[in-house]
Structure 1
Amino acid sequence: MQQLPYVVVTNPNISEVYDLYYNAFDAFRKVKEIKSLDDNDRLCKVISQTLKEHLTVIPKLAMGILECSGLMKAEELDKFMNTILRSRISRRVIAEQHLALTETFHAPWFSPGAKLGDTDFIGEIFLKCIAKDVIERCGKAVQGLARAAYGPDVVMPEIVVLGHLEATFPYILSHLEYIIGELLRNSVQAVIEKHQQGRPGGEEKPPPIEVTVCEAAQHVIIRVSDRGGGIPRDVMPYLWSFSKGPQSQKLLENLGQVPRMSATLQELRPISPAQEMRRPHHHHEDGKHQHHGHGHGHGHSHDGGEPHHEGSLSTLTGRPPNLRLGMGLPLSRVYAEYWAGSLELHSLEGYGVDAFLQISKLGNKNEQLTTRASMDAV
């Protein structure tokens, strides 16, 4: 950030992000060496607070980039965004993993001698993500948000899952759900709007969105195909860029709503699919449905207090589908490539879009993940 031109780093949004990182560095610098479990619990409070404070980083950066698009070349701004987002993912993964493993250690069911095979999770890492389950959960969430945005009478396109339905791979669920959610959100929105334009009465069903899962030895490919008319020609040049040219002003107005969404996220989307998977339900004396952490991140702390942290991706995922931010595809590609995967998109103008998400399996028996975790446990 210090290498940016002065006029860019003084942008209010970029400057605010800079201050967040500087303050985080200052806070961690003052943490004494961890020598006991109590020391670790104090560290976890600092980590948790910092994660919370940094929820607004992605929308703030995106707003800063749009506001500075006339001050730097688009390629240079994108290089900066990709670099800072990758390093941000690294830090958040390490921080969230530490909180999740600490929470597991404190959980009443945890046995220090337990084998890794006894659980589907190592901290935040879900060892057996089933592609079909993730697609179906994300599809339902996106369809629910679309109904809320377009009204209960909207004719919803069906989401059909085909191919290798039992394909599994290790992944961090919140990352996978964000990418799949963005691809399905784009397709659902495009199909609904094209169908509404073509048939005002909405008497016929819109064409389905087909999601094909293809499993190979080293990777899984998920293809999302829609017949939503393709990507408009004026949007194509900016598709993978965080700089958006003529569309910047409208996107800035939309992005301005996102930092405030962190506070209202619970109303928008009470619990993410990733959280839902990992928690047994319990009823408290007051009869309300409560969720208890099972030591796999995002859960309640061992003292029964508030959840450790809310993920920044769920803030973005919980927004209405017609609130365009212009960052879904470039941000999804950053997350896909971070885990040695890829994201490509082919648009057939006037017909539809095919998106291809390639996910590395990191070894078909999770050797790398389990070996690394075993070594850490020694």
Structure 2
Amino acid sequence: MINLIKVRHNNVVPTMALGVQQLKKDLDPKLDYKDLDDIHQFLDRFYMSRIGIRMLIGQHVAMHEPNPQPDRIGYIHTKMSPVEVARNASEDARSLCLHEYGSAPEVKVYGDPDFTFPYVPNHLHMMVFELVKNSLRAVEERFMDSDKIAPPIRIIVADGLEDVTIKISDEGGGIPRSGLPRIFTYLYSTAKNPLDERADLGTAEVSTMAGYGFGLPISRLYARYFGGDLQIISMEGYGTDAYLHLSRLGDSQEPLP
């Protein structure tokens, strides 16, 4: 029964995102998104409690699987290789980019492939996938009509005493400073509204390259859930660096609302 509940709610995030996009279509375009604090705070609370509930349900279901995988305690992989997860997530993002644009910049991963630490691979995969997807789109759109070869996206995994930090660097032209305060709001996306693009998006199962505007804020919630964080530093005219901090101390409490 618990597994059925878990599966039934798989599509909640994209469904909610579609609702937010419909709201965005009806809002006055001159409205400053920062004035909609109530909506952002509600969505932060909603998604954070959802992450907690799904962690509990997923952990319970995974603990009762008949053939447990080695080095796994439910959802938690005791010897997770961040380099390997980053490589898999970036390949997934590249295949989506290839499907969307017909080409995709190279992604280079730097770090010790033998380094492991306990974490939830699904969470890390989702965060790296979202960040790499943003970088791929920025680079692809910047160099689409250029004769130059699109520069690679670099992922660097650093093993610190307190944090494992993953830096994702691109040369996609960066974000203007005026846009930076808005990148973690749910109503901001530089891509076209997917509802304008496709009339058949009444179902939320379509994986689109961009446009829903929830990739960054939800990735930051996933990072903060285990005591980490996500920071975006941009150089307009050059590119963007995303710093994903993952706490490895194991003593953080759930930051539930």
TM-score by length of 2: 0.83
Distance between the aligned counterparts of 1:148 and 1:248, measured in 2? 17
Q: Give, as a single letter, the amino acid of the residue that structure 2 aligns with 1:348.
A: M
Which one-letter code corresponds to 1:191 in the other structure? V
Is 1:339 the equivalent of 2:226?
yes
Pairing partner for 1:226 from 148, 167, 170:
170
Deviation per residue, 1:78-127 (Å, 9 max, x gap) = 11111111111111111111111111xx34xx7xxxxxxx9310011111
Q: Distance in 2 between matches of 1:131 and 1:249?
A: 32
Q: Structure 2: how far apart are the matches of 1:235 and 1:63?
A: 22
Q: How does 1:38-117 map to 2 (within 5 A)?
A: 46-68=1-23, 70=27, 73-103=35-65, 106-107=66-67
Assess, with a 3 A threshold, how the Cα gap between structure 1 residues 258 and 355 changes in structure 2: closer, same or farther.
Answer: farther
Aligned with residue 110 of structure 2, among 162, 166, 181: 162
**Residue in structure 2 matched with residue 212 of structure 1 by the alignment:** 156
State how far apart, in whole Å, the 1-side matches of 2:8 and 2:237 are. 43
CA shift digits 1:200-236 (9 cap, x unpaired): xxxx421111111111112101111110111256744
Matched, 1:140 2:91: yes
Whether contact under 8 Å (1:170, 1:362) holds in the other structure is no
> 1:63 Cα deviation (Å)?
3.2
Q: How far is 1:240 from its partner?
A: 0.4
| Structure 1 contact 341–359 (Cα < 8 Å) conserved | yes
Q: 1:145 to 1:74 in 2, by over 3 A?
A: same
Letter in 2 for 1:54: H
Paired with 2:16 and 2:83, the residues of 1 have a C-alpha distance of: 33
Post-superposition Cα deviations, 1:136-166, rounded to whole Å, max 9, x if no partner, equal 1112212222212222xx3x32212224443
Q: Cα offset for 1:52?
A: 2.1
**1:223/1:357 contact within 8 Å kept:** yes
Instruction: Give the superposition deviation at 1:56.
Output: 2.5
Letter in 1 for 2:42: F
Q: In percent, how many aligned pairs have the same letter?
A: 32
1:123 and 2:51 aligned: no
Question: In 2, Cα distance between the equivalents of 1:258 and 1:137?
Answer: 30
More helix by share: 1
For these two proteins, the number of residue pairs brought into alignment is 244
Distance in 2 (alpha carbons) for counterparts of 1:172 and 1:137 = 14
Aligned ranges 1:192-341 → 2 under 5 Å: 192-199=140-147, 204-232=148-176, 235-244=179-188, 250-253=193-196, 257=201, 259-261=203-205, 319-321=207-209, 323-341=210-228
Equivalent-residue separation in structure 2 for 1:149 and 1:234 (angstroms) = 28
Deviating above 6 A after TM superposition, structure 1's stretches of 4 or more consecutive aligned residues are: none
* Segment of structure 1 superposing worse, 63-72 or 135-144: 63-72
1-side partners of 2:243 and 2:143: how far apart? 24
1:238 to partner: Cα distance: 2.3
RMSD of the TM alignment (CA)? Answer: 2.8
Residue 265 of structure 1 is matched in structure 2 by: none
Q: Is the 8 A contact 1:101 1:122 kept in 2?
A: yes
> One-letter code of the match for 1:342?
D
- Deviations for 1:16-57, whole angstroms, at most 9, x for unmatched residues? xxxxxxxxxxxxxxxxxxxxxxxxxxxxxx212212221232
Q: Which runs of 5+ in 2 are unaligned?
A: 253-257
How far residue 66 of structure 1 moved from its aligned partner, in angstroms, is 4.2
- Larger Rg over CA atoms: 1
C-alpha distance in structure 1 between counterparts of 2:155 and 2:208, whole Å: 22
Contact 1:161–1:212 (8 Å) recurs in 2: yes
TM-score (norm 1): 0.58
Q: 1:356 aligns with which of 237, 243, 250?
A: 243
**Residue aligned with 2:144, SS:** helix
Contact 1:254 1:325 in 2 (8 A): no
Q: Cα gap change, 1:180/1:253 in structure 2, threshold over 3 Å: closer, same or farther?
A: same
Q: 1:187 aligns to what?
A: 135
